[in-house]
Each structure stands twice: as structure tokens, then as C-alpha cells.
Amino acid sequence: MKPLVLVVDDDEDDLWLMQKAMLQIGGICQLNPFSDAASLLSYLESAVTMPSLILIDYHLPRMDGLELTELLREKPALKTVPFAWMSSEIDPSWEIRCRELDVAWCWVKPNNYTAWQAFMYQLCGTLTVSKSN
């Protein structure tokens, strides 16, 4: 079974690029995209399978990545699920918040399609390696 990655990003172009890049690298992960925190939360309420990773755009409308992560970290079913943050720019103070919330990775979003492929390959490669150990 492929690792399941839930991706929350309000930028439709970035979601499309992630999905296209995933197909180009062989679909080594299953991506479930969400355009906002509310749709992810709704999905998780009835989810049977917990994700291998939750990838969150830090700058979401209504509930930002920090608030969403804090809320998700309170859910017992997600205690062992790794989280990653991404954004078009990274604030240095995020490193502290990443450690406090046990966020595994903080990434700057790729700026071209080739970089998105490398990003998705690295992300899913990490999950498939850790899953096989």
C-alpha cells in the first residue's frame, strides 16, 4: 500500500503541480489534496486510514498552518503522524514552532515544475524508506 499524504494548500496551482509531479515520479505516494483546513478536518472525522504524513501550507485562509497543526496534534489518532509545513517563504521563527509542535519538516515551496518533482520524490522517498524500516 502506498503511503497516504494529506496536503492542505489554498493555491490550486500548487495542488495541481504536486499531483502532476507525483504522477511523473511514478505515483509512489497517494496524495489527497484539500484546499482549506475545514475540508481536511471534515475528511479526518470519518477517515478509516490515517495518513503517513500531513503536509500543510503555512499561509492558509481562516485557519493558518500553525493553528491547524495545534488542533490536529490534540487528536489521539494523529499523535504518531508526521507533519510538514511548506510556504513560499519561511520565517526563521518557524524553526522554534516546528520543534514545539513536533513538525518534522519545514520547506520553501518549489518555484518550478522540475523542483516540484524533486520535492515530491524526496518527500515520498522519506516516507517509503521509514515505512520499510
- Give the integer Cα–Cα distance in Å for 67 and 46: 21
List the grid coordinates of 50. 490515517
Residue 78 domain flag: no
Domain that holds residue 93: 4-54+84-127
Residue 64 domain flag: no
Domain count, the chain: 1
- On the question of pLDDT at 132 being above 60, the answer is no
Quick: pLDDT tens for 21-76: 988 888 889 999 999 999 999 999 999 989 999 999 999 999 999 999 999 999 99
Q: Report whether 56 contacts 73 (CB < 8 A).
A: no
The pLDDT value recorded for residue 128 is 60
Q: Report whether 34 contacts 64 (CB < 8 A).
A: no
Q: Tell me the pTM.
A: 0.89
The pLDDT value recorded for residue 133 is 45
List the grid coordinates of 54. 500531513
CATH number of the CATH domain containing 48: 3.40.50.2300
